[in-house]
């Protein structure tokens, strides 16, 4: 029986990094989680244990910290590109680098000048559950892909959503409705046509497209809403060629208040956390370039 080594990669996962920029009394904070994965001439380390081609994962962690100090962190996509190109360009044994970054947002806490703190802005509060993400791939052939995204963007429409006309069999108990709450936590990843987008404004505009399409679509299904959100992004943002979604249906069930002598005209709901429907889908341009390794 012949046995061979299959695809493999290694790296440092979840390097937590906080970068503070001090501009006098005004501070700026960047809070990120960096993961790197490298692949290339790695047969020897697997087959014989030779580490001659291995860049230690501890070195990858240190590189993220050092680059944060040397280069700063503005847009996470640019920082990921910087790291990925460094790994491939500096190490002959490394043919491909994948860098994934999550960013956690913070907002300033205003400080009263009455307490003698005027001009000092160094207090922050963490913003909600939404997380900005990116994944960058770069290889020695010069191929590069950038995928931006977000997770846990929680949205809700209190009306303007229906669900009916579905398959009914002997196990179906769900009742059709023409007025329901539609809620989800959007996870979306969108692929750029190149690696030179202005990533900050692009992220903000894509996020706006997602929110506007969700709010403006009279939904007959969460699948329809997903498609309209993706279509809005592609019709609005030329730098995006493909977008992928995972959207759990956060069910809200009308509570039966009749045992208490009360009616319930779509006012009181039970918010169920599980089980939930999970809707996933991709919307892309018909002429989108091949995704290659973008989603790996």
| CATH number of residue 288's parent domain | 3.10.270.10
**Statement: residue 186 has pLDDT above 50:** yes
Q: How confident is the model at residue 69 (pLDDT cuts 50, 70, 90)?
A: very high
**Statement: residue 269 has pLDDT above 50:** yes
Give residue 274's domain range: 143-296
pLDDT for 96-126, tens place per residue?
A: 999 999 999 999 888 765 444 556 777 788 8
Does residue 3 belong to any structural domain of this protein?
no
State the Cα–Cα distance between residues 41 and 292, nearest whole angstrom.
Answer: 20
Look at residue 114 in the predicted model and tell me its pLDDT: 44
Look at residue 270 in the predicted model and tell me its pLDDT: 94
Asked if residue 222 and residue 107 are part of one domain, the reply reads no
Does residue 168 belong to any structural domain of this protein?
yes
Look at residue 33 in the predicted model and tell me its pLDDT: 97
Q: Which of 61, 86, 250, 251 is catalytic?
A: 251
Percent of the chain predicted with pLDDT > 90: 88
Asked if residue 150 and residue 293 are part of one domain, the reply reads yes
Asked if residue 107 and residue 176 are part of one domain, the reply reads no
Give the mean pLDDT of the chain. Answer: 94
Look at residue 18 in the predicted model and tell me its pLDDT: 95
Look at residue 119 in the predicted model and tell me its pLDDT: 62
Look at residue 116 in the predicted model and tell me its pLDDT: 44
Look at residue 13 in the predicted model and tell me its pLDDT: 97
Does residue 268 belong to any structural domain of this protein?
yes
Does residue 1 belong to any structural domain of this protein?
no
What number is the average pLDDT over the span 135-152? 97
Asked if residue 87 and residue 148 are part of one domain, the reply reads no
Q: Is 57 a catalytic residue?
A: yes
DSSP sequence for 86-153: HHHHH-TTEEEEEEEEEEEEEEE----GGGT-TT-B--EEEEEEEEEEEEEEEETT--EEEEEEEEEE
Asked if residue 261 and residue 242 are part of one domain, the reply reads yes
Asked if residue 292 and residue 178 are part of one domain, the reply reads yes
Angle at 67 between CA 64 and CA 121, to 5 degrees: 100
Q: How confident is the model at residue 25 (pLDDT cuts 50, 70, 90)?
A: confident
Asked if residue 70 and residue 195 are part of one domain, the reply reads no
Does residue 61 belong to any structural domain of this protein?
yes
Does residue 4 belong to any structural domain of this protein?
no
**Statement: residue 228 has pLDDT above 90:** yes
Q: Which of 27, 57, 208, 231 is catalytic?
A: 57
Q: How confident is the model at residue 296 (pLDDT cuts 50, 70, 90)?
A: confident
What number is the average pLDDT over the span 50-72? 97
Count of residues making up the chain = 296
State the Cα–Cα distance between residues 9 and 96, nearest whole angstrom.
Answer: 9
Q: Which of 12, 192, 250, 252 is catalytic?
A: 12
Asked if residue 147 and residue 133 are part of one domain, the reply reads no
What number is the average pLDDT over the span 77-84? 98
Asked if residue 153 and residue 133 are part of one domain, the reply reads no
Range 7-25 burial, b when 16+ CB lie within 10 A, else e = eeebbbeebebeeeeeeee
Q: Is 251 a catalytic residue?
A: yes
Look at residue 276 in the predicted model and tell me its pLDDT: 95
Asked if residue 252 and residue 158 are part of one domain, the reply reads yes
Asked if residue 132 and residue 186 are part of one domain, the reply reads no
What number is the average pLDDT over the span 191-212? 97
Asked if residue 178 and residue 262 are part of one domain, the reply reads yes
Does residue 2 belong to any structural domain of this protein?
no
Helix (H) or strand (E) holding 171: none
Look at residue 113 in the predicted model and tell me its pLDDT: 58
For helices 57-71 and 76-90, angle between their N-to-C axes, nearest 10 degrees: 130
Domain count, the chain: 2
């Amino acid at each position: 029986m012949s046995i061979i080594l299959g695809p493999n990669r290694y790296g440092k996962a979840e390097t937590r990094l906080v970068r503070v920029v001090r501009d006098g009394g005004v501070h700026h904070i960047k809070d990120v989680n960096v993961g790197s994965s490298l692949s290339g001439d790695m047969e020897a380390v697997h087959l014989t244990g030779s580490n001659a081609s291995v860049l230690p994962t501890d070195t990858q962690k240190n590189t993220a910290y050092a680059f944060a100090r040397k280069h700063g962190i503005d847009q996470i996509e640019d920082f990921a590109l910087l790291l990925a190109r460094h790994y491939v360009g500096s190490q002959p044994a490394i043919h491909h680098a994948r860098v994934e970054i999550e960013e956690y947002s913070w907002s300033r806490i205003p400080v009263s000048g009455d307490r003698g703190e005027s001009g000092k802005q160094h207090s922050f509060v963490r913003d909600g559950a939404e997380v900005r993400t990116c994944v960058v791939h770069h290889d020695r052939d010069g191929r590069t892909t950038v995928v931006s995204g977000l997770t846990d963007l929680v949205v809700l429409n209190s009306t303007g959503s229906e669900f009916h006309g579905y398959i009914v069999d002997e196990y179906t108990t769900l009742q059709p409705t023409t007025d329901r709450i539609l809620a989800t936590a959007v996870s979306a990843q969108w692929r750029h046509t190149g690696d030179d987008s202005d990533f900050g404004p692009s992220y903000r505009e894509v996020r706006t497209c997602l929110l506007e399409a969700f709010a403006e679509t009279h939904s007959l299904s969460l699948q329809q809403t997903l498609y309209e959100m993706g279509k809005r992004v592609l019709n609005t943002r030329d730098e995006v060629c493909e977008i992928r979604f995972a959207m759990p249906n956060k069910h809200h069930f009308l509570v039966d208040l009749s045992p208490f002598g009360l009616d319930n005209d779509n006012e009181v709901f039970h918010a169920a956390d599980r089980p939930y429907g999970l809707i996933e889908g991709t919307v892309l341009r018909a002429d989108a370039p091949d995704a290659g390794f973008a989603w790996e």
